[in-house]
Amino acid sequence: MTKIKHFVFNAFQVNAFVIYDDTKKAVIIDGAANSERELNELLGFIKNNELEPEYIISTHGHLDHICGNFDLKSEFNIPVLMNNCDDLWVERAMDQAALYSFDMKKPPMADKNIEDGEIIKFGNSELIALHIPGHSPGSIAFYDKEGGYIIAGDTLFQHSIGRTDFPMGNHEDLINSIKNKLFILPDDTLILPGHGPDTTIREEKKCNPFF
């Protein structure tokens, strides 16, 4: 069974996660630390718990979610995983950062593409990757079937959904992704979104104004 450590990082208040199990193997998802203090907080947790990260994973390529990847890759020298439909976002990250006056280090490109349905294994655990385009073309959610939760990125929030007014965003794709990939999960599945509080599939089916 996995354990989840949750942080909130950078000016965009991104939910960052370290997922690990009893073997001490771990993955870092959206580890978007963007200051020395945030990076120390993340690295301190990993060191204090003697965890061994195996992958740096991004739910999508927007700058607020990938801004920690340079430091994480430098620290651990492990592969960066994301969906290659968001490569353009990673390539343009520094231009975007300038646009927002957001100071960040140039993020590395993905070392490996994550496909829909791919299973990411670490320790005794696995996460199922679900391609959920709409907020960005390469958005991916990570479902822990045994743990009953999903790391959803910027797709589905408590009583809201991700923005689709960025370049390459698509509202119809987003609605279809949520309906066909997320709302088919068990009702009590915990949703851990990219920003803001947790929710559940049941709650969003019942109360989300977009459905």
Binding interface with Zn ion (CB under 5 A) = 62, 154
Nearer to Zn ion, 73 or 195 (CB): 195
Min separation Cβ 12 and Zn ion, Å: 8
Min separation Cβ 28 and Zn ion, Å: 17
- Whole-number Å distance between alpha carbons of 42 and 115: 27
Nearer to Zn ion, 62 or 181 (CB): 62
- Whole-number Å distance between alpha carbons of 42 and 72: 10
Nearer to Zn ion, 30 or 204 (CB): 30
**Residue with smallest beta-carbon separation from Zn ion:** 62
Nearer to Zn ion, 71 or 154 (CB): 154
**Based on the number of CB atoms within 10 Å of its own CB, is 62 exposed (0-12), middle (13-18) or buried (19 or more)?**
buried
What's the N-to-C CA distance of the chain in angstroms? 32
Min separation Cβ 60 and Zn ion, Å: 6
Nearer to Zn ion, 125 or 199 (CB): 199
Could you give phi then psi for residue 65, rounded to 5 degrees?
-100, -20
- Whole-number Å distance between alpha carbons of 210 and 27: 32
Nearer to Zn ion, 1 or 99 (CB): 99
CB 150 within 8 A of CB 191: yes
CB 28 within 8 A of CB 15: no
Token couple for 184: 């088919």
Min separation Cβ 129 and Zn ion, Å: 17
Token couple for 190: 């915990």
Collapsing DSSP to helix, strand or coil, 137 comes out as: coil
Min separation Cβ 173 and Zn ion, Å: 14
**Based on the number of CB atoms within 10 Å of its own CB, is 22 exposed (0-12), middle (13-18) or buried (19 or more)?**
exposed
- Whole-number Å distance between alpha carbons of 55 and 95: 26
Min separation Cβ 154 and Zn ion, Å: 4
